[in-house]
Amino acid sequence: MTATASEEVEGVEAPAVSRVEWAPVARVNLLPKEIGERRRFRRVQQGLALVVVLTVCGAGAAVWWSQREVSDAQAELDTVQARTADLQRRRNDFADVPRVTAQVRAAEDARATAMTNDVPWYRYMTDLEAAAPDDVSFTAFTFTVPGAAAAAQATTGAQSGNANLLAPADGVGAITLDGISGEYPDVARWMLGLDDVAGLDVSTLANAQTKEDGSAVIFSSGITVTDEALSHRYDRKAS
């Protein structure tokens, strides 16, 4: 009877147990209040420490950035100062340039004044010989062109009535010429041919006479040089 009952008990299945996840679990905080406050205070300390670390890192980054900006500005300043010193040295090197330039201009002005009445005489020697007939030759030339001061004095004399009234108003100088011709008409033809030479005007015959043996005529003449003959190669150019 006992064995049969045991067999019946063993043949009965145990009830299934399932866990319910949503079921609330009761919890009881048995820690003292001081421990919780201490934990919260520690978390606050950690947060403050983190803030301090971040602040220090930010300040360090700001200092590094400012130092970099200062270094760059100092480098630029050093470059500018070096450039300024170099320009100052160059300015000192060229300090005499204005004085030398003024001296050059003064010399050019003096030359332009002195050479106001410059005439290319070599050209007129060729022109005078080309204007002469075949049987007329020259033995002496004298070219006279006064300087600017003398020309101004001559102009003053002309205004005061002491000048030669037959001289052209644009006369700047004179040519005195001695020559030999076969006969008197050749001398006259040569003087008339001077009218075709630019820069010459009012030719005059000073004297003419036959040589003692009658072989030739010796003559002396004067020719006025006008301002058309001036070269103007020393004139100051307009700036």
pLDDT in tens, 145-192: 876 544 444 444 444 444 455 556 778 888 898 999 988 888 888 888
Nearest to 172 by CA among 118, 211, 127, 225: 225
| Cβ density class 45-58: b for 16+ within 10 Å, e for less | eeeeeeeeeeeeee
Whether 132 and 171 map to the same domain: the answer is yes
The answer to the question of residue 46 being in a domain is yes
Say yes or no: 133 and 188 in one domain.
yes
**Residue 215 forms part of a structural domain:** yes
Estimate to the nearest angstrom the gap between the alpha carbon of 36 and the chain centroid.
86
CATH at 203:
3.30.70.2830
For position 119, what pLDDT does the model report?
Answer: 83
Most confident of 24-38, 123-137, 149-163: 123-137
Distance (Å, whole) CA 178 – CA 211: 14
Given this model, what pLDDT does residue 1 score? 45
- Per-residue pLDDT of 65-117, as tens digits, reads 888 888 888 888 888 888 888 888 877 777 788 888 888 888 888 877 777 78
User: 91 and 173, same structural domain?
Assistant: no
Domain boundary among 80, 95, 110: 95
How many residues are given for the chain?
239
Same domain, 224 and 135: yes
Structure tokens at 96: 């005499």
Whether 239 is in a domain gets the answer: no
Residue 73: which domain range?
33-95
Residues 158 and 191 both lie in one domain: yes
How far is Cα 104 from Cα 189, in angstroms, rounded to an integer? Answer: 49
Residue 5 included in any domain = no
Residue entry with tokens 């002396």: 220
Count of structural domains within the chain: 2
Its pTM stands at 0.48
